[in-house]
Chains A and B, each alone.
Chain A
Amino acid sequence: MGEEVKLFRSWSSPFALRIVWALKIKGIEYETVFEDLSNKSPLLLQYNPVHKKVPILVHNGRPIAESFVILEYIDETWKQVPLLPEDPYERAKARFWAKFGDDKVLTSVWNVFIKQGKEQEEALVAAMENLKFLEEEIKGKKFFGGERIGYVDLVLGLLANLISICEEIIGLKIVDEEKLPLLYSWMQDFAEAPIIRDNWPPRDKMIVKFQALLDAAIASSSSSSSSK
């Protein structure tokens, strides 16, 4: 039977990267549809009318949106190289850390990136508290998934790239090798793993993009404070 698998993504979306990695790790053939998010295609809007975002996986014409939902769908549909553990308790833990990664860690790292002065210092303290939980969780393991990359690694993996880009732009260490040695080491191992290392978006383009995002964030915060 011909499987038709399409992935709608943008060149830089870290959430879409999770799906690229998952598909490649499982050896699934797929077609990429690149979207310009400033000019969304009618197909994107048709496939994800609720959020109008990428990534969207379209399998035999049926769309699935939201990266966590897509990852679980992929894992349930193509059973080779399982991403989630088999045991229900371990699965619950994996889902917990994935949610923590997006809800708390990503947000706190972003705050360190866009804030200045005292606010940035406070944001760094908050980020460290969150990152310490990850440091604790990876103890005794090479990857969050154990010996090999799993669901949690794929979800948190964007940190391995974005954090170093943010650190380069703002000149501030977020994951310091001395303070978070295990997490630092995981970031290196993950970034260099086969498949992962071949699929990072071009670093120079990412630096330009994130510098622009920072400039926009600074501009909007200073204009809102001057209008008070």
Chain B
Amino acid sequence: MAEEIILLDLWASMLGMRVRVALAEKGLKYEYREQDLRDKSPLLLEMNPVHKKIPVLIHNGKPICESLIIVQYIDEVWYNKSPLLPSDPYKRAQARFWADYTDKLYELGRQLWLTKGEEQETAKKGFMECLKLLEGELGDKPYFGGENFGFLDVALVTFSCWFFAYESFGNFSVEAECPKLVAWSKRCMEKDSVSSSLEDPLKIHGFVIMMRKELGVE
């Protein structure tokens, strides 16, 4: 049966990139549709009426929303190629726990480039604490998934193309604070599924400059 897969996404979204990485890991062909969030398409509003946000995966006409829920869906439907979650329930629980924790990183990252002064300093401290904790969880493993690239790697690696933007606006260096994490992200970038899904950090930086202007942060 012909599978029809459509992804409603925004090029700069690190959440959308998670879905792109997962689809690439499974070797799936899909139609990418760039969304304008200032002028939301009827399809987006129909497929995600609750949140009206991207990413949305539409599989044979049925929508799935929320990036980590979409990645799990992809992993469950196309289970026989490149499994992302391990088979052991305890290891799965650990992967889910830390993937959920990356939501905190997302919120703090937003505060980092959306605010100035003291608010920004607080966000920066929180952001670095989170990264350090995640680096601790990685330990000496090549990937969070162990020998193989897995669910938590997918959840976190897309942040790495945003590091340059965070560093410029927060005035810090991720590599200085978390060298193992940066080494891990470079290792992930050697995979086609990652390098073809993540965006150029310079372009992301430009995107953040534009957003800050639009939102009147400057």
Tell whether A96 pairs with B69 under 8 Å between CB atoms, given A68-B100, A89-B64, A133-B50.
Answer: yes
Q: Which of A50, A65, A73, A95 contacts B90 (CB 8 A)?
A: A73
User: From residue 37 to 65 of chain A, which have CB atoms closer than 8 A to chain B?
Assistant: 50, 59, 62, 64-65
B81 to chain A, nearest CB (A): 15
A92-B64 in contact (CB<8A)? yes
**Chain A, residue nearest B48 (CB):** A96
Q: Which stretch from B17-25, B70-78, B116-124, B210-218 is at the chain A interface?
A: B70-78
Cα of A22 to Cα of B73 in the assembled complex, Å? 23
Flag A58-93 by CB within 8 Å of B: 1 or 0 each: 010010111011101100110000000000110110
Q: Is A99 in contact with chain B by the CB < 8 A criterion?
A: yes
A84 to chain B, nearest CB (A): 11
Main secondary structure of the interface of A (DSSP, over half): helix
A106 to chain B, nearest CB (A): 15
**Chain A, residue nearest B137 (CB):** A50
- Interface set of A (CB-CB < 8 Å, partner B): 50, 59, 62, 64-66, 68-70, 72-73, 76-77, 88-89, 91-92, 95-96, 99-100, 133
Complex contacts, A66 vs chain B, CB 8 Å: 96-97, 100
- Report the contact-size class of chain B (Cβ under 8 Å from the partner): 20 to 34
User: From residue 55 to 90 of chain B, which have CB atoms closer than 8 A to chain A?
Assistant: 59, 62, 64-66, 69-70, 72-73, 76-77, 89-90
Complex contacts, A99 vs chain B, CB 8 Å: 66, 69
Cα of A4 to Cα of B205 in the assembled complex, Å? 51
Cα of A89 to Cα of B72 in the assembled complex, Å? 10
Which 6 A-B residue pairings sit nearest by Cβ, starting from the closest?
A: A88-B76, A76-B89, A73-B93, A92-B73, A92-B64, A64-B93
Cα of A73 to Cα of B70 in the assembled complex, Å? 19
Cα of A99 to Cα of B99 in the assembled complex, Å? 14
Cα of A66 to Cα of B103 in the assembled complex, Å? 13
Q: Which of B59, B76, B92, B100 contacts A76 (CB 8 A)?
A: B92
**Chain B, residue nearest A72 (CB):** B96
